[in-house]
Amino acid sequence: MSLFNELGLSQAIVNALTDLGYEKPTPIQQQSIPQILTSQNDVKAFAQTGTGKTAAFSLPIIERVDPQSKNTQAIILSPTRELAIQIGKNIEEFSKYMKNINVVTVYGGASIEDQIRGLKRGAQIVVGTPGRTVDLIKRKQLKLKDIKWVVLDEADEMLNMGFKDDLDQILEVTPKEKQTLLFSATFPREVDAIAKNYMNKPVEINAGKKNVGADKVSHEYYLVSEKNRYPALKRLADVNPDIYGIVFCRTRRETKNVAANLIEDGYNADALHGDLSQAQRDIVMEKFRAKHLQILVATDVAARGLDVDDLTHVINYKLPDQAESYTHRSGRTGRAGKEGISIALINNREKNALRPIEKKIGKKFIQKQIPNGKEICEKQLFKLIDKIKDVEVNEEQISPYLESIYAQLKDIDHDELIRRFVSIEFNQFLSYYEGADDLNGDDSRERKRSSDENFTRFYINLGKMDGLNPAKLMGLINEYLKKRDVEIGQIEILKSFSFFEIDKSFADKVLKEFEHAEFAGRSVIVEVTTKPKGRSRGRKKGGFGGNRRSSDDRKSRSNRSGDRKFGRDRSSSSGGYKGDKKKRSYSSSKRR
């Protein structure tokens, strides 16, 4: 196996990597680092999430950058501020033994004045989100005329978020002669289009098969009714007392509700979503990385940039709109050679959505059963026993009390003492799950439609025949609204037209901004529409993201009934089963 110093990196960089615990390069690093160090050719590189892509493109750039010049020589573009911050931090760590190498990270949600001051002091490497990068270019504070390297990191996600125009503006002000490096965990057709438009005969590097799941990740699904989605999540957390994972939701509202319910029910959880300030996001992420949180509830965009190697589970509370997004989600676990589990909670209507994901990741989902109360109690009991066996006894602190304790317990024999001690906490689990019903299966007779009063539903005269898909529709919305923090709800792509939901406070803006909109040379018509009350019989089987042929807008791909706020009394929402209706108040439920 090649070592870092055999790849052409200087000893200063190798020493920094040694300090960080890097022992040997990953496959993507082995292939990319020599290629970038020794060639001017553009590079299109694929590797799954968690395989070291940041080091693969940043290490050779650090090696080749001119420390004597304060001009910006490399621009690294990232879809989210979390990922940009992480990349900037990594570059600082990699270059700590190299003199006069400066990196500045620019992103929205932070002081632009501070970022401008950093640029004026000189930065050979700039890491940024596309929006803030364009802003600084327009202000003439970021000059890219001396750029030698452009890195497009997570290019697929930048397209999904509607950054195509920003990318165009940035690349227009870079020199023609430069090395463009495109790194991504998935390669949908849109990313190949970027390569054709922005790159010159790129060398393609594949560290694994394109668009497939990580080898160490198993994929499971649990079939539950909509009303039991949240109780099922709780049971999965209880049957895995050592869980350290991310629960993915589709919307910010859903993320807030699920996290609030978990916290209320005694779990050590928190939320990560777009409504948090940068300072709040940093605090949540720091707590999660330090394992002060066991469960992080997040949207797809907010979770980008999370660099965590030890996740045991990724739970899809709701499946994403695109199969590629599932690949990104599941890639958060099973990293650094460790095993992980990716779970999907689905109802009957969502079963067909698993097929295109299976095709994309090259693996089959295994159906599992939601555990019953007995299984959970057994798992928690032996977790308690392990905890007792591993506890560290502080003789100095407890010795003054031992004589009195022995005196009070002298009439209880050894076996009885163990039974009573274990029962202190275990009885509370037994009581909580007493009479707990089976949550498996979706026996819902009525297929209720999504009806969220906080969203307005729109018709658009574009569909699959026009090359529209959920990613392109979201990009179109972001482009014309000129905002990327507008909450988008259900998207349904049909043959010649489509439907989408937008936060109702932006309804008038949507109508105004789309008055003269165009897509692929075609005039766009956007109108407010409503859902019909009836249910149509005919339904064409569809893949991920729709393929529903409907003249009356019959099938909703995303049911928001799981978004409702669960109160303290869950008798109306937990669904016919005693154990999960109860408010957990026992101390053992607190996730430490």
Q: pLDDT digits over 318-372, tens only?
A: 998 777 788 878 878 877 667 899 999 999 888 888 998 998 888 999 999 999 8
| Per-residue pLDDT, 31 | 93
Give the separation between CA 459 and CA 529, rounded to whole angstroms.
6
Q: Which two tokens stand for residue 175?
A: 């020199």
Higher pLDDT, 162 or 345: 345
Give the separation between CA 170 and CA 166, rounded to whole angstroms.
6
Give the separation between CA 269 and CA 297, rounded to whole angstroms.
7
From the list 59, 65, 54, 51, the residue with the least C-alpha distance to 33 is: 59
Query: Whole-model pTM above 0.85?
Result: no
Q: Which two tokens stand for residue 240?
A: 């895995």
Q: Which two tokens stand for residue 73?
A: 């020589």
**Domain range 455-559, CATH class:** alpha beta
The whole-chain average pLDDT of the chain stands at 81
pLDDT tens figures, 286-299 = 899 889 999 999 98
Residue 257 C-beta-side C-alpha neighbours within 13 Å: 17
- CATH architecture of the domain 217-370 equals 3-Layer(aba) Sandwich (3.40)
- In Å, what is the CA distance from 327 to each residue of 182, 185, 485, 497, 561? 18, 8, 23, 27, 25
Pairing of strands 203-207, 43-47: parallel
From the list 434, 450, 185, the residue with the least C-alpha distance to 304 is: 185
Task: Tell me what the mean pLDDT of segment 222-228 comes to.
Answer: 92
pLDDT tens figures, 529-571 = 876 544 333 333 333 333 333 333 333 333 333 333 333 333 3
- 230 within 8 A of 258, measured Cβ to Cβ: yes
Exposure pattern of 391-421 as b/e (b: 16+ CB <10 Å)? eeeeeeeeeeeeeeeeeeeeeeeeeeeeeee
Task: Tell me what the mean pLDDT of segment 205-220 comes to.
Answer: 70
Residue 420 has pLDDT above 60, yes or no: yes
Which fold, 4-207?
Rossmann fold (3.40.50)
Which part of the chain is CATH 3.40.50.300? 4-207, 217-370
Higher pLDDT, 132 or 373: 132
- In Å, what is the CA distance from 30 to each residue of 1, 53, 216, 278? 9, 11, 20, 35
Residues recorded for the chain: 592
User: According to the 3-state scheme, what is the secondary structure of 424-470?
Assistant: HHHHHHHHHCCCCCCCCECCCCCCCCCCCCCEEEEEECCCHHHCCCH
Which part of the chain is CATH 3.30.70.330? 455-559
pLDDT interval class at 107 (50, 70, 90): very high
- Looking at 48-62, 125-139, 181-195, which range is the least confident one? 181-195
For residue 92, the 8-state DSSP code is: H
